[in-house]
Amino acid sequence: MRVLLQRVSGASVGLEGECVAEIERGLLAFVGVFPDDGETQADWLAEKTLGLRIFPDADKPMNRSVQDVGGEILVVSQFTLAGDTSKGKRPGFSTAAPPDQAERLYKYLIARLKAQGGRVQEGRFGAEMQVALVNDGPVTFLLEK
């Protein structure tokens, strides 16, 4: 699994002109799932997402987690993170998990984030969404497990 985390001062997801999810300060998490992924990867990514110290405090620019700062997490499925761009000019997606597996693990990841105290909003799995964000920093990390 891959989670692309962006520290944001605000983010939202729109679908057909309607806002379906919105957060203020926190993390925007784009999620890509591969065929060999399972709950073990999702568990690790949930814990890492909640505990990663990438928010500032008075002493250091990256010393607090999203939970430490009372931030929110907006989770968005993005199968293109599992795309293969190694050959040619058009990405291939045979490296991405089938939709049923990807949706199950996407929802499992969200459930794990919530179970560990995360304040979570989510996009709509498989939908063509419009994502708006203000990247704070900019700060972006790619988590892979």
Domain residue spans of the chain: 2-144
pLDDT at 137: 94
Do the strands 130-144 and 2-15 form a parallel or antiparallel pair, or are they unpaired? antiparallel
pLDDT at 129: 97
Q: How far is CA 64 from CA 26, 42, 44, 71, 79, in A?
A: 11, 22, 19, 11, 29
pLDDT at 36: 97
DSSP state of 94: T
- Residue 8 — pLDDT band, cuts 50, 70, 90? very high
Q: Whole-angstrom Cα distance, residue 8 to residue 6?
A: 6
How much is the pTM? Answer: 0.96
Domain 2-144: CATH class, spelled out: alpha beta
Active site residues: 80
